[in-house]
Amino acid sequence: MRKLSDTIERLARLRTRPDGLQPATSALRPLDITGSNPGELTGWYSMPEKPKGAPPLVVVLHGCTQNAAGYDRGSGWSALAEEYGFAVLYPEQSRSNNGNLCFNWFSKPDVTRGSGEVLSIREMIATMIADHGIDRRRVYVTGLSAGGAMANSLLATYPEIFAGGAIIAGLPHGAARTVPEAFDRMRGHGLPDADRLQALLSAASPHKGPWPTISIWQGTADSTVADKNAGALIDQWRDALGVAARPERVETVDGQERHIWVDSAGREVLDLFLVRGMGHGTPLDTASGYGEAAPYMLDVGISSTLHIARSWGLTASFEKRAHRPQPASARAEAAGNSAGNNAGTGAGNSAGTASLFSAAWPGKAKPEGVKDVIEAALRAAGLMK
């Protein structure tokens, strides 16, 4: 029987679809995975030219319709890594696994400890540690959309490996098990309550702590992954991290809200960045000198890459480098390209987190993106109405 992903791919070929960023050249090198690779993923990496001791490692997961090199160019991770002396690993999806290059966060075998895509990424990390002397105490993971959902599943299934994680427009672990459920969760429908989300996290691994720190990034005008998913992520992690439902404080960072949760020891272990007016994508500040605006790579005046790296102690300072600013027209065009990556799940917000999200947040009409392509393909296949 033909896989559902194969059916979607064949149908989607009938329509115009973005292929993501495809740079002609890339500084990333192919990774020869030492262990097993049940998820059949490809690995790419960069190492600092002159590392000082055992370097930290950041695992970066691209979104749908994207590839490793394109997301690296857009986000600026390897450029930042070279400057500050840490390594970057990019697992990459293939069309044979998913026709739209999405990590399969909604497939139970791919997000179960010891199998599928999460095990492939775990083996890539082990290869980097063995071959390149990575500091195993300083391994981090981040991702966008479907990559954000998979990053969260990695944090849930292998929490002992990671010191921290950052989830951009992502989704809670275990909230969807089928493609139709995935689309419902993306829209914020049928989301598990806080108790169920915490149970899914507890069942994902035998780990009892300590837990990685969690950073969540969400655009308030994201109509691809509903903002309720950010509340669901908070609900999923707050019990394990030992924090209250409401944040300890809210501060303004580069003009955006940062909600901060503090544990009993006074550590900032959970935060939420709300980027006002931003659609679906990774927030960038190209004036920083890191990253390039492109579809789903949005120049909105705040660099998630820099802020995430700083929160993990990977950068020495937060000074902005001289950089020729983009024309206003280019910034506006990039901000308008906020439709696409498919990831989707979400959960109902608890009373404590519901106040962070307003039903009055404006949606934004956007050009057809990957979500529209996939939905059209599913309708054509008779798999959704």
The residue that leads in pLDDT, 137 or 355, is 137
Catalytic residue among 46, 75, 107, 145: 145
Over residues 188-206, the pLDDT tens digits come to: 999 999 999 999 999 999 9
| pLDDT at res. 352 | 35
Answer yes or no: 304 catalytic: no
Structural domains in the chain? 4-380 (3.40.50.1820)
Mean pLDDT of the chain: 83
Mean pLDDT, residues 63-79 taken together: 97
CA 8 vs CA 5, 27, 179, 367: distances in Å: 5, 32, 11, 20
Contact, 348 vs 228, CB < 8 A? yes
Instruction: With CA atoms as reference, report the closest residue to 172 among 385, 349, 380, 374.
Output: 349
**CB under 8 Å to 198, separation ≥6 — which residues?**
235, 236, 239, 240
State the pLDDT confidence band at 372, using cuts at 50, 70 and 90. Answer: low
**3-state SS assignment for residue 173:** coil
Instruction: Indicate whether 13 pLDDT > 50.
Output: no
- Rounded distance between C-alpha atoms, residue 169 and residue 148, angstroms: 7
Model confidence, pTM: 0.81
For the chain, report the end-to-end CA distance as a whole number of angstroms. 22
pLDDT for res 27: 87
